[in-house]
Structure 1
Amino acid sequence: MKRPLGRILQRLEAAALAAGTLWLVGVTAGSDTAAEAADALVSSAPLRALRWELGDLWTRDTLSAAAALTIGEAPLLLAARPAVAELWSREEEAPPADETGDIVEPVEETPLEAPEAPDNGVPARTLVPTGTAGYTVCGRTYISNSTDYDLTVQELQQPFSAVLTGEGPQVLILHTHGSEGYTPAPGEEVVWSGNYRTTDTRYNVVRVGDEIARVLGEAGISVLHDRTLYDYPSYNEAYDRSLAAVQTYLAQYPSIQFVLDVHRDAIEDAEGNQYKVVSAVEEGTAAQMTLVVGSDGSGLTHPNWMDNLRLAVALQEETLREYPTLMRPMLLRNSRYNQHVAPGALLLEVGAAGNAPEEAVLAGQLFAQCMAEVLQARSK
Structure 2
Amino acid sequence: MTKPLKIWSALILFLFLFPVFIQLLPGEQPETSSKKVKESSSSMVYAANITEEKRNEELGLNGKRALLYFTHTHEAFKPVTEAKQGKIVVSHQTENITKFGEKLQAQLSINGVETDILPVNNAEEMAKKRIPHYRAYKAIRPHVEQQLQKVNYDLIIDMHRDSAGPQITTATYEGEKYAKVAFVVGTENPNFAKNKAKAQQIKDEMERLVPGITRNIITKSRHDGDGKYNQELHPSVVLIELGGIGNTEEELNRTVAVIAKAVTNALSTPGTSTF
Q: How does 1:125-164 map to 2 (within 5 A)?
A: none
Q: Give the structure 2 partner of residue 260 of structure 1.
A: 157
CA deviation after TM superposition for structure 1 residue 275, in Å: 5.1
Higher helix share: 2
Structure 2 runs not aligned, ≥5 long: 1-59, 222-226
Give the match for residue 208 of structure 2: 321
Q: Is the 8 A contact 2:61 2:267 kept in 1?
A: no
Matched, 1:189 2:85: yes
Deviation per CA, 1:77-126: give whole Å up to 9, x if none.
xxxxxxxxxxxxxxxxxxxxxxxxxxxxxxxxxxxxxxxxxxxxxxxxxx
- Offset of residue 228 of structure 1: 3.0
Does the CA-based 8 Å contact 1:294-1:332 persist in structure 2?
A: yes
Q: Which amino acid aligns with 2:164?
A: I
State the distance in 2 between where 1:179 and 1:165 align.
32
Q: Which runs of 5+ in 1 are unaligned?
A: 1-163, 269-273, 297-301
User: With structure 1 as the length reference, what TM-score do the two structures score?
Assistant: 0.49
Task: Answer yes or no: is 1:341 the counterpart of 2:233.
Answer: yes
Shift of 1:267: 1.6
Specify the code of the residue in structure 1 equivalent to 2:240.
L
Counterpart of 1:278 in structure 2 is 170
Tell me the distance in 1 between the aligned counterparts of 2:175 and 2:71. 29
1:237 aligned to 2:124? Answer: no
Question: Which of structure 1's runs of 4+ aligned residues deviate more than 3 A?
Answer: 164-167, 185-188, 281-284
8 Å CA contact retained: 1:276, 1:354? no
- Distance between the aligned counterparts of 2:175 and 2:75, measured in 1? 25
Amino acid paired to 1:289: V
* Distance verdict in 2 for CA 1:366–1:283, change over 3 Å: farther
Q: Is the 8 A contact 1:206 1:227 kept in 2?
A: no
Q: TM-score, normalised by structure 2?
A: 0.66
Distance 2:169 2:108 in 1: 24
Partner of 1:246: 144
1:289 aligns with 2:184: no
Aligned CA-pair RMSD: 2.4
Alpha-carbon separation, structure 2, partners of 1:213 and 1:188: 21
Q: Is the 8 A contact 1:183 1:355 kept in 2?
A: yes
CA distance in 1, matches of 2:150, 2:86: 36
User: What SS class does the counterpart of residue 197 from structure 2 fall into?
Assistant: helix
Q: Secondary structure of the equivalent of 2:215?
A: coil
Query: Whole-Å Cα distance in 1 between the matches of residues 134 and 192 of structure 2?
Result: 25
- 1:324 is displaced (CA, Å) by 1.0
- Is residue 208–residue 364 contact of structure 1 (8 Å, CA) maintained in 2? yes
In the comparison of the two structures, how many residue pairs are matched? 201
Higher RCO (CA < 8 A, seq sep 6+): 2
